[in-house]
Amino acid sequence: MKRFVGLRILKTAIGASLAIVIAEYLGLRYAAAAGIITILSIQNTKKTSIKLAFQRIESTILALLISSILFLIFGFNPFTFGVYLVIFIPLTVILKITDGIVVSSVLVTHLLAVKSISMFWIKNELLLMAVGAGIGIILNIYMPKIENEIKETQQNIEECMRKILFQMAESLRNQSIDIEEKLFNELEKILKCGTNRAYTHLNNYIINDVKYYVQYMEMRTLQYEILKYMRSHFTKFYMTFEQTEIVAAFTEKVALDFGEYNTAEELLNELNEVINIFKVQELPKTREEFENRAMLFQFLNDMEALLKLKKNFTKNYKHIL
């Protein structure tokens, strides 16, 4: 993400300077305000930039309307400006345009300073906002693509999940309850990073619907929660039976086939076969064996939920996968 930071700094510097130059060329007073508005308008995504620009334009119109009426009635003084804020701020909350409070209020202070609400000054403030917000939108048209970074994150997520599943298979075989906490911490960190990147990618497209990566990350996050629940069973596995080896082998199979383009349909079919094998086997003879098999069944139920998440996700994106 370092290139985003560097690009945003460059855009901010160029945009602020350009906005001031344009404002001065148009003969606007307080031209530096256009530069400040541009600084506040440069965002990390196109959608955010456009959304904020429209919010600030709306809030500026509202602010100029309210302040003009109040200045006309009560005069140009700090008390009137305070009354304006008491009225203006709650209205922006109701209208959901709170991002424009500061910028709009700064423009209102220009009217207070010159003690005028003439059309010249109203036009001046509106143009300052239009220039500043407009330059911000124009500069945010270009955003570097981050699909390669997202795909790399996907690979890291899948590799981490494979490691967890392999470790579960090994623990089943060795009667171990030691499933490394650091693997889950690493996976959680990667998922958060991937989700942020996916939403950044989504918000850089105005027209196209590119929700695939966002929904992919949501699917993997749900699978991560299931994996955490599956790990909890390992505090209770304490005996190795034939069924335990079958579950371990299947878990290993899931790990080997784990990936973005696997539909999980074949794995679900194999899971049903494993469950059917259990059904025809001899019933447990001891309490320990019964408890162990019950826990294995619960483990397999969780595995089924894990695989169904992937199957449902794949069904929605057959045209991509």
DSSP, residue by residue, 238-274: ----HHHHHHHHHHHHHHHH-STT--SHHHHHHHHHH
The CA distances from residue 196 to 103, 146, 191, 192, 200, in Å, are 28, 11, 9, 6, 6
pLDDT at 234: 73
Q: Distance between CA atoms of 61 and 110, rounded to whole angstroms?
A: 14
pLDDT at 45: 81
pLDDT at 71: 97
89 within 8 A of 44, measured Cβ to Cβ:
no
Residue 115's contacts (CB-CB under 8 Å, 6 or more residues apart) are 76
pLDDT at 232: 81
117 within 8 A of 71, measured Cβ to Cβ:
yes
Tens of pLDDT, residue by residue, the chain (321 residues): 555 557 788 889 999 999 999 999 999 999 999 999 999 988 878 888 888 889 999 999 999 999 999 999 999 999 999 999 999 999 999 999 999 999 999 999 999 999 999 999 999 999 999 999 999 988 888 777 888 899 999 999 999 999 999 999 988 887 766 677 889 999 999 999 999 999 988 888 766 667 899 999 999 999 999 999 888 877 666 555 677 888 889 999 999 888 888 888 999 999 998 888 877 767 666 666 676 777 788 888 999 999 999 999 988 876 555
CA dihedral 99, 102, 103, 106 (to 10 degrees): 170
Nearest CA to 16 out of 6, 24, 4, 27 is that of 24
Class of domain 147-316: mainly alpha
Domain boundaries, given as residue ranges, for the chain:
2-139, 147-316
